[in-house]
Structure 1
Amino acid sequence: VEINKNISDKRSYMVDSSKLLKTGFEFKFTIADAIKEIRVSPTALEMHKGIYSNLKLAERVYIAKNIGMRDLRLIQGGIAVDDRGCLNFANDFNFYGVKRFYQVQNFSTSTIRAFHGHLKEAKYVYVAKGSAIVAAVELDDVKSPSKNKKVNRFILSDKKPQVLFIPPKYANGFRPLEDDTRILFFSTSSLEESKDDDYRFPVDYWGKEVWEIENR
């Protein structure tokens, strides 16, 4: 914010958007939406940091409104191989809404990390090394979610690069299938925001078969 003391205009006036609205224009977001975003993401007010601004706040409001309307989906990647080696990629993953990332590596393939849910936070999951079962189930209630909800089960592997998008209002978890499996999580919430949007459920809440390997 910059104050210019050289401006000599002393007039007081008020503007509104009535003429604009008469043309049929509709606002997608309101001041109330911005206030709500500020409450859950106070970093939007850290104006002393170059990355934060009114434009950044508007962007965050847009993302917060739209991220929840996106469906659970796989973003396809691929592998390019030549005489020099291999290159794994996911060119359609644009890091939409991402605020942070972290990598998880279990000591044992028998260790299951599940279930962990959010109402506001979305995640992108990518297996950088090895392979894993990743499960996601929609939450109809955070205190006592229905056990009849469909459990979406995915096998992610570095041999077939894919990024799994898990929208808000889902619980998720994973089990590594290989030693030294490494999984990257890209989150749309900061660590502080995530702490107030954290819901845990037992690993077998939706059944033990979710994590079993079927012989066939």
Structure 2
Amino acid sequence: MTSARPPAPDAGTEAGTDAAWSTVCFQPAHPGGRLHAGGSHDQWSVAVWRSDTAHGPVLVRSDPLSRSAQGPGHPYPPRCPHPPGGPLPCDVHLWVDADSPRRPALLAQADVLVSRVPLAPGAARRRVLELLAAHPGCLAVAVPDTATTCAVAVRHGGAGHESFLRPSRGSPPGASLPPRTVVSVMHAWMVAGRSPGALRGLTPRPMPVPMPVPMPFSSH
């Protein structure tokens, strides 16, 4: 979670969301976890994460930063209403469009950077590492590629570490996760102290659906 509130952006309009708070909830099926209440379908995604030892549901909600906000910063989104616990702690972080011309002040404060320009696989790999090197305050970067889904790089062990998640096809057939969802889950995974290579994949799921009960992590 970012430690400081970013400054309000300049007034103006631009198609699409180019900066938002991302809330990653690992207890969306909890009676108090009604994180999905309200909002449009483009503001949340649901997936099942998978490691070698466990799997479980995860919901990612995006709360766009208002361009009409007044004052020195943007308010944080509401916290998850369920009690602490679950397989992983919930995470709130700031993601910013790496290519947006209207958000230069936010790039230095972004926890996650997401490019919207698809590149060939090799170029996407180079681009994620370049963005990670250019923005030392950023923990994770995603760039869509033209062959799979996206290239993801995270800051791990003092250097850029590439971790490529290829989400499985979901239901309905052909459903996929946007890169900002993939990298947001990776950010939450990292700040929870997990190894980036241990997150094996994400499978998109429609919402609402009965979610699988998370399996506990191994103590080893």
TM range (shorter): under 0.3
The normalised TM-score by structure 2 is: 0.26
